[in-house]
């Protein structure tokens, strides 16, 4: 267990955490304000990646592709909201689960039809494609630092928007008590649309930023969706601050856990059982964390609706 590995994995954990935050932020707001379980959030992340690949093929430039893909993702998300989600706001969570599950099936298959089942790749911009020396002996990819940086930047913008603008205040109020906000005469439909659109863009942005590192393939949104739900549950539904803290926590726990689980276990067990049990425990770590948090705080760490 070397310090350089520890530092690198910590940075990787931060990067995963920031990515999770981008996805979880939209999810927690939609859930908190609109009381809507959106399982399709994961495919919006996937769609962002695919759209970026497509626009890159047209333009040959990452930044153009980014902007166009964000726009297209927003349009598509609003379309989904208008065609499907709008009819389900007043419905049971179970109806929302089945509808959004159907959208997952549809889109996962859809991208397979349009782009094929093989993984695609998106080249990262030239200027960010190298590695940088952080400390003697530690080489770290620039792009991952860009992801961390842009994620923190978005978090800051979100924070400013939510706490210092009128719309942000309405969103926070809506997350605490949507009926009250509506009764006060606010156009709740427009608020929902804004929240939803923003969330979609965040998810799409996350997909675009991660695309150069991961492979873009059908179903890539499924695992991250589950992680995002774990994040918002631990953080507390409807809370952006909770999502931020929980996302970083999970990113770090998951990444560091996977890297060092075997080593840590070796302190207590013989090498062989440590090597078998280690990876299993590592994958379960975040779920164990969630179970513990929910046992102690059945509504998450910072629930918007109060405990």
Q: Shortest Cβ distance from residue 191 to other proteins (Å)? A: 21
Q: Which residue lies nearer to other proteins by CB, 164 or 307?
A: 307
**294 scored as a contact of other proteins (CB under 8 A):** yes
Residue with tokens 């707001």: 29
Nearer to other proteins, 35 or 211 (CB): 35
CA distance 256 to 289: 14
Judged by CB under 8 A, does residue 270 bind other proteins? no
Position among 18, 19, 29, 31 found at the interface with other proteins (CB under 8 A)? 31
DSSP letter string over the chain? --HHHHHHHHHHHHHHHHHHHHHHHHHHHHHHHH----TTHHHHHHHHHHHHHHHHHHHS-HHHHHHHHHHHHHHHHHHHHHHTGGGGTTS-HHHHHHHHHHHHHHHHHHHHHHH-SS-B--PPPGGGSSEEEEETTEEEEHHHHHHHHHHHHHHHHHHHHHHHSHHHHHHHHHHH-HHHHHHTT--HHHHHHHHHHHHHHHHHHHHHHHTTTS-B-TTHHHHHHHHHHHHHHHH-TT-HHHHHHHHHHHHHHHHHHHHHHHHHHHTTS-HHHHHHHHHHHHHHHHHHHHHHHHHH-TT-SS-TT--
Contact flags string 53-92 toward other proteins, x per CB under 8 A: -------------------------------x--xx--xx
95 binds other proteins (CB under 8 A): yes
What are the Cα distances from residue 115, in Å, to 36, 121, 135, 162, 209? 30, 12, 41, 37, 19
Q: How far is the CB of 126 from other proteins (least distance, A)?
A: 37
Q: Which residue among 3, 59, 61, 109 contacts other proteins (CB under 8 A)?
A: 109
- Return the residue of 112, 128, 146, 173 that touches other proteins, per CB under 8 A: 112
Bridge partners for 116 per DSSP: none
Work out whether 10 is an interface residue with other proteins (CB under 8 A). no
Q: Of 98, 135, 160, 180, which lies in the binding site for other proteins, with binding defined by CB under 8 A? A: 98
From candidates 102, 116, 123, 137, binder to other proteins by CB under 8 A? 102
Site pattern 210..229 for other proteins (x: CB under 8 A): ------------x---x--x
Task: Determine the interface stretch with other proteins among 61-69, 136-144, 175-183, 275-283 (rule: CB under 8 A).
Answer: 275-283
Q: How many residues bind other proteins (CB under 8 A)?
A: 47
| Closest CB to other proteins among residues 38, 154 | 38
Q: Which of 1, 2, 113, 307 binds other proteins (CB under 8 A)?
A: 113
φ, ψ of residue 216 in degrees (nearest 5): -90, 110
Q: How far apart are CA 230 and CA 236, in angstroms?
A: 10
Candidates 20, 23, 30, 37: give the one binding other proteins (CB under 8 A). Answer: 37
Among 5, 82, 93, 165, the residue binding other proteins under the rule CB under 8 A is 93
Binding-site ranges for other proteins (CB under 8 A): 31, 37, 84, 87-88, 91-99, 101-110, 112-113, 222, 226, 229-230, 233, 237, 276-277, 279-280, 283-284, 287-288, 290-291, 294-295, 298-300
């Amino acid at each position: 267990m070397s310090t350089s590995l520890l530092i690198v994995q910590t940075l990787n954990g931060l990067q995963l955490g920031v990515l999770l935050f981008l996805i979880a932020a939209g999810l927690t707001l939609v859930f908190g304000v609109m009381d809507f379980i959106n399982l399709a959030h994961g495919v919006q992340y996937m769609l962002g990646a695919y759209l970026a690949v497509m626009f890159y093929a047209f333009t040959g430039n990452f930044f153009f592709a980014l902007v166009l893909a964000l726009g297209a993702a927003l349009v598509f998300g609003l379309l989904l909201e208008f065609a499907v989600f709008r009819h389900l706001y007043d419905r049971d969570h179970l109806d929302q689960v089945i509808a959004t599950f159907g959208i997952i099936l549809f889109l996962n298959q859809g991208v397979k039809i349009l782009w094929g089942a093989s993984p695609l790749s998106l080249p990262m911009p030239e200027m960010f494609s190298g590695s940088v020396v952080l400390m003697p002996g530690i080489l770290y990819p620039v792009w991952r630092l860009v992801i961390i940086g842009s994620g923190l930047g978005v978090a800051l913008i979100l924070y400013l928007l939510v706490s210092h603008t009128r719309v942000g205040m309405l969103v926070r109020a809506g997350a605490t008590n949507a009926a009250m906000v509506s009764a006060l005469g606010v156009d709740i439909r427009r608020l929902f649309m804004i929240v939803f659109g923003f969330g979609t863009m965040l998810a799409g942005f996350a997909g675009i930023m991660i695309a150069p590192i991961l492979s873009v393939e059908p179903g890539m949104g499924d695992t991250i969706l589950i992680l995002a739900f774990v994040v918002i549950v631990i953080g507390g539904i409807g809370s952006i601050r909770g999502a931020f803290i929980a996302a970083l926590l999970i990113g770090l726990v998951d990444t560091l856990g996977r890297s060092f689980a075997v080593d840590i276990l070796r302190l207590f067990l013989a090498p062989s059982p440590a090597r078998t049990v280690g990876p299993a425990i590592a994958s379960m770590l975040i779920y164990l964390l969630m179970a513990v948090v929910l046992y102690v705080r059945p509504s998450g760490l910072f629930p918007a609706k109060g405990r």
